Amino acid sequence: MIVPLPTRMVRRSRGFTLDCGTSVRATPGAEPAARLLRTLLRPATGLALPLADHGQIVMALDAKLVGLGEEGYALTVNEHGVLLRAATRNGLAHGVQSIRQLLPAQALRSSRVSEVEWTLPGVDIRDVPRLPWRGFMLDTARHFQPVHVVRRLIDLMALHKLNVLHLHLTDDQGWRMPVPAHPLLTSIGGWRTETNGDGVPHGGTYTRAELEGLVAHAAERGIRIMPEIEMPGHARAALAAYPALGIAPEPLPVWTRWGISDAAFGMHALGFVREVLAEVLDVFPGEHVHLGGDECLLPETVHAQFLKQASKYVLDHGRTPAAWEPTSDVRSVLMPWKDETQATKALERGQPVVMAPHTSTYLDYPQTEGAHEPPGQPGFVVTTRDVYDVPLPDGVLGAQCQLWTEHVRSRDHLEYLAFPRLAALADTLWSQRPEWEGFTTRMRLHSSRLAALSVPAEMRRERCEHS
């Protein structure tokens, strides 16, 4: 009853019970996975699971294993112990999450649980994802999301074997990315005087050390972080700090409303953009850097030239740009959010595509039509079934959900909007044969896991009324 559904799982007659005498043996290179397992299980079980040469739980990293790819794993549980094997560290990290889900749901709690037998059922699992990009975008610009909230979100993503966290770090309403050469970006651009007339100042920024800590935390769990710096539009916060960079160099405050500002970088800001991107590339080691690129009121030719130059900088430094709109370079990843037509045209050009259609992946839309739903983007309802049925044309890398945070001021609100819809995305992208009825059956048990993790299953509207 694992979410997402494993490629192949066969039940054995007898399982294995973890107790105070259980230890872990890790082959060379598998030590991070062993550490992760111990870190995740100790709070609820109280078990130390020490490393030992003859441990009953064996974690083996073997690059010669065939058929498991970059993220697959093989897991065997019988009366003698547990054997987890993979060809990569990411594969082992995904296998650790399956071990967690095979235990009683109480194993996911954050405090000690007594009078529970920590028994793993006997199984043989061989598991490989269907698609390589299984992502989630978190907007930290509209409402700042503290580090502890992002770390917990990474943990929840890892449980579901999602593997890309797209951090939206800048927008009209706030700039969260520190750039030492341009300190006003965070000291001025990171704060706004109010939000939609509420009279309450809002803001926040990350330090370089905090962002590097998030990168490391995610990597230990098989997740890579893709940062996004919006350009040439959605730039009001940056222009509040440095107005001379704009097409109309006049002082502008950080925007206090939602919607699309008409502020944008001018072509003369490309030197500044390159300096920002240099810092981004230094902090975030992953392959992809998102350049935004949508909803800009610049003339089309200027907009295209700006994105082309920014993409060239990223490519020249050995990374791959991503954008919401085409960048004129087929090596860039396109994330079409308007409709499937954008994806079809990009695939015909030979361009990599990650699906992000707003009608099935935008989690700021309400998930039901009920009056109890907290405030969200108007116009659509995106149900769990809508997410499960996200269109996936042949040849795409995968898909990701987006959570824009205009209305999201708390961790509970964020997690209520994210789940169970993120679980649906994970299942439909990982499973070799996605099937909605089977997913809903497995979610009956999985809901108890989410409850053990204190993910809210409901959200009272009055708690969000002033968003």
CA distance 237 to 193: 12
One-letter amino acid of 458: E
CA distance 405 to 240: 21
- Which residue blocks in 380-435 are alpha helix, DSSP H? 384-388, 411-418, 421-430
Which phi and psi (to 5°) does residue 463 adopt?
-70, -15
CA distance 314 to 273: 11
CA distance 80 to 101: 20
| Residue 456: Cβ within 10 Å count | 18
CA distance 84 to 62: 11
DSSP code per residue over 298-321: S-HHHHHHHHHHHHHHHHHTT-EE
Residue whose entry in the numeric block shows the structure tokens 């199984």: 123
CA distance 342 to 7: 31
Residue whose entry in the numeric block shows the structure tokens 């004129």: 328
Neighbouring residues of 216: CB distance < 8 A, sequence distance ≥ 6:
none
Contact 188, 254 (CB under 8 A): yes
Residue 351 three-state SS: coil
One-letter amino acid of 403: L
Instruction: Write out the E strands in 108-205.
Output: 118-120, 123-127, 133-139, 164-168, 170-171, 174-175, 191-192, 202-203
Which residues are the active-site residues? 171, 234, 295
